């Protein structure tokens, strides 16, 4: 079967229009849908990653809760070790540590004006002057004993003056005491 020239041209035009329609259809309909599918796939992958991360976090939750409970117990224990604002509690620590160091210092002066300590406003540092006649060795031993008894006492200053007694010195120690308000 032979085609006439006119039939061949019509066939070529039909094929060209069909090809053009396919190309236009691809770029106007198929390509946007493929982009949507790609974006949805990326979104699904991100959500899967978030889900996996959440699952890992949930798996760690019991250990986090246990660690928090341990920390709470530690905080409560340390809170109990804080000194109250009463002078008698501090005097007891001074006297007990002095007895262990075999000496007898005296509390000379309390500075009642509390210096705020920390950001919570629940704590303050109070300064106290303690003095007496002691040797260097007994001074060091006394400070070590006091440090063992309470971690919330620190030395702010030491003043040592020579006395007439052999081996002893007039000593004033300024201590900072961390107290709960």
CA gap 137, 139 in Å, rounded: 5
**Residues 6 or more apart from 159 whose CB is under 8 A from it?**
171, 172, 173, 174
Six-digit token pair at 45? 């992958």
> What number is the average pLDDT over the span 12-41?
90
Confidence of residue 12 (pLDDT cuts 50, 70, 90): very high
Q: In what order do the strands lie in the sheet with 106-117?
A: 106-117, 123-134, 169-180, 153-162
- Give pLDDT, residue 79: 66
Asked whether residue 14 carries a pLDDT value surpassing 80, the answer given is yes
As a whole number, the mean pLDDT across the chain is 80
- pLDDT, tens digit (0-9, with 9 covering 90-100), for 156-176: 888 888 776 666 778 888 888
Confidence of residue 74 (pLDDT cuts 50, 70, 90): confident
| pTM score, whole prediction | 0.49
User: DSSP assignment of 29-96, as one string?
Assistant: IIHHHHHHHHHHHHHHHHHHHHHHHHHHHHHHHHHHHHHHHHHHHHHHHHHHHSB-S-HHHHHHHHHH
């Amino acid at each position: 079967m032979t085609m006439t020239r006119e039939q061949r041209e019509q066939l070529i035009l039909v094929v060209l229009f069909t090809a053009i329609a396919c190309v236009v259809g691809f770029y106007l309909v198929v390509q946007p849908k493929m982009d949507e599918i790609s974006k949805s796939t990326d979104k699904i992958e991100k959500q899967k990653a978030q889900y996996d991360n959440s699952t890992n976090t949930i798996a760690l939750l019991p250990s986090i809760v246990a660690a928090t409970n341990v920390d709470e117990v530690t905080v409560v224990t340390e809170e109990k070790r804080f000194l109250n604002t009463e002078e008698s509690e501090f005097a007891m620590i001074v006297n007990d540590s002095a007895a262990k160091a075999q000496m007898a210092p005296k509390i000379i002066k309390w500075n009642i004006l509390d210096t705020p300590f920390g950001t919570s406003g629940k704590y303050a540092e109070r300064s106290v002057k303690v003095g007496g006649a002691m040797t260097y060795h007994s001074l060091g031993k006394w400070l070590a004993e006091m440090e063992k008894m309470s971690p919330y006492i620190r030395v702010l200053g030491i003043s040592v003056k020579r006395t007439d007694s052999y081996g002893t010195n007039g000593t004033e120690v300024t201590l900072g005491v961390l107290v709960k308000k």
